Amino acid sequence: MPDRPLSLESKVAALRRPDAYPGQPDTVEAVETHMSWVFLTREHAFKLKKPVRYDGLDFSTLATRRLFCNEELRLNRRLTASVYLDVVALRRDAVGALRIGTAGTVVEWLVMMRRLPADLMLDRLLAQGKQHADQIRPVAMQLAAFYRSLRPAVTDSAIYLERLRRDIDECERRLCDPELAVDVEDARSLCAQLRSVLRERPELFAARVQAGKIIEGHGDLRPEHICLETPPAIIDCLEFSQELRTLDIADELGFLGLECERLGAPQLGRVLLDVYGELTGDIPGLALIDYYQAFRACIRAGLAIAHLKEARYRDSPKWPLRARHYLRLAGEHLQRCAVWLQRRAQPSSS
């Protein structure tokens, strides 16, 4: 049979069948995400990257998908080696059947993982109101050890400040797209306030660079990427962009705190930062944390509203609502940041 390109649909259809897997599991559950398909058996998860291309992301060829599967394995093993098992090939055999294995022509690459217990994922526990502060302590301890193992990724404060300015400009451009349902005046005001702090208080960020706190971290630290088993499993590191996963430790931890706050548990973010500070001696300061949380909230608002550009999301009320929620959080954190900065500026009474 001559080789010919296979559609994503044909690969997904094959991977829905138990006979495509070693050992032929009893059942296969398929879950679609924005950039991938995940196939769940009783014991394992297999992630297939969609052949997509966006700004800053290119999974359009088999070679690039293999590259980023290997990067996903490498990067996630830094935090959770027991979950990320291998990169495996989906192959077409002599009669045209598609199976994961060692015989036949490679038609796709997948990341093979240990399946995590869904009832221990932090986002699910937050949705059920079952989380408590003690559960986040082991996560903070694991992250503190992870960050201590990393070398500084940026040592020039001017480069770091320019990167933040560029990210704010790009966020404003996305939020102010006339095709999307966002309060443009509000978005412009928030982005202007973010730029104003960078301009007026650059020493806050320069100090972080000089202290070696800008590292190549996880890059997408959200509750849905944390499993509260023992020890915790922290998964789904952002594999496709070194730039996007290069950030301030305070920014990354603040982002997880922001996401917990959005899901109704702001106290978890406070515990996370307190435990990290106790273990490392790194106390970023409340003004900086609130600034980063406002910054991330604006970026997440832009990513949420951008879903309306895709036909299947265009009529969904979910994404405009989420974008507005993020913008509201951004405003609240910027107000708190301004209060902390004002207090720092006031001379102490003798």
Do 294 and 339 sit in the same domain of this protein?
yes
Model pLDDT, residue 313: 78
The phi, psi pair for 70, rounded to 5°, reads -65, -35
Model pLDDT, residue 262: 97
Give the model confidence (pLDDT) of 96-140 as tens digits: 999 999 889 999 999 999 999 999 999 999 999 887 888 899 999
Please give the model's pTM, rounded to 2 decimal places.
Answer: 0.94
Domain endpoint, select from 115, 130, 153 = 115
Residue 245 forms part of a structural domain: yes
Token output for 76? 């996630």
Token output for 63? 């070679």
Q: Which residue shows structure tokens 């443009």?
A: 184
pLDDT (tens place) for every residue of the chain, 350 residues total: 445 679 999 999 999 999 999 989 999 999 998 899 999 999 999 999 999 998 888 999 999 999 999 999 999 999 998 999 999 999 999 899 999 998 899 999 999 999 999 999 999 999 998 878 888 999 999 999 999 999 999 999 999 999 999 999 999 999 998 877 778 899 999 999 999 999 999 999 999 999 999 999 999 999 999 999 999 999 999 999 999 999 999 999 999 999 999 999 999 999 999 999 999 999 999 999 999 999 999 999 999 998 888 777 788 889 889 999 999 999 999 999 999 999 877 665 44
Token output for 16? 């829905």
Interaxial angle between packed helices 318-345 and 184-200, expressed in degrees from 0 to 180 and rounded to the nearest 10 = 30
Do 97 and 160 sit in the same domain of this protein?
no
Residue 305 forms part of a structural domain: yes
Do 333 and 296 sit in the same domain of this protein?
yes
Start-to-end Cα distance in the chain: 87
What is the rounded CA–CA span in Å between residue 74 and residue 86?
10
- Chain centroid to CA 210: 25
Do 129 and 106 sit in the same domain of this protein?
no
Model pLDDT, residue 308: 82
Residue 184 forms part of a structural domain: yes
With CA atoms as reference, report the closest residue to 328 among 182, 128, 179.
Answer: 182
Cβ–Cβ < 8 Å for 48, 108: yes
CATH number at 314 reads 3.90.1200.10
Residue 350 forms part of a structural domain: no
Domain endpoint, select from 58, 92, 115 = 115
With CA atoms as reference, report the closest residue to 113 among 84, 72, 148, 73.
Answer: 84
Do 76 and 191 sit in the same domain of this protein?
no
What pairs with residue 45 in β-bridges?
40, 113
What is the rounded CA–CA span in Å between residue 47 and residue 285?
39
What is the total count of domains within the chain? 2
Model pLDDT, residue 350: 42
Do 140 and 63 sit in the same domain of this protein?
no
Secondary structure string (H, E, C) spanning the chain: CCCCCCCHHHHHHHHCCHHHCCCCCCCCEEEECCCEEEEECCCEEEEEECCCEECCEECCCHHHHHHHHHHHHHHHHCCCCCCEEEEEEEEECCCCCEEECCCCEEEEEEEEEECCCHHHEHHHHHHCCCCCHHHHHHHHHHHHHHHHCCCCCCCCHHHHHHHHHHHHHHHHHHHCCCCCCCCHHHHHHHHHHHHHHHHHCHHHHHHHHHCCCEEECCCCCCHHHEECCCCCEECCCCCCCCCCCEEEHHHHHHHHHHHHHHCCCHHHHHHHHHHHHHHHCCCCCHHHHHHHHHHHHHHHHHHHHHHHHCHHHCCCCHHHHHHHHHHHHHHHHHHHHHHHHHHHHCCCCC
Give the model confidence (pLDDT) of 295-315 as tens digits: 999 999 999 998 888 777 788
Do 163 and 269 sit in the same domain of this protein?
yes
Cβ–Cβ < 8 Å for 72, 88: no
| Domain ranges, residue 39 | 8-115
What is the rounded CA–CA span in Å between residue 22 and residue 1?
23
User: CA of 251: how far to CAs of 40, 210, 246, in Å?
Assistant: 32, 16, 10
Do 302 and 337 sit in the same domain of this protein?
yes
Do 328 and 220 sit in the same domain of this protein?
yes
CA dihedral (217, 222, 225, 228) positive or negative: positive
Do 284 and 339 sit in the same domain of this protein?
yes
Do 268 and 337 sit in the same domain of this protein?
yes
Residue 3 forms part of a structural domain: no
Cβ–Cβ < 8 Å for 106, 91: yes
Residue 64 forms part of a structural domain: yes
Do 93 and 158 sit in the same domain of this protein?
no
Residue 2 forms part of a structural domain: no
Domain endpoint, select from 87, 115, 143 = 115
Residue 179 forms part of a structural domain: yes
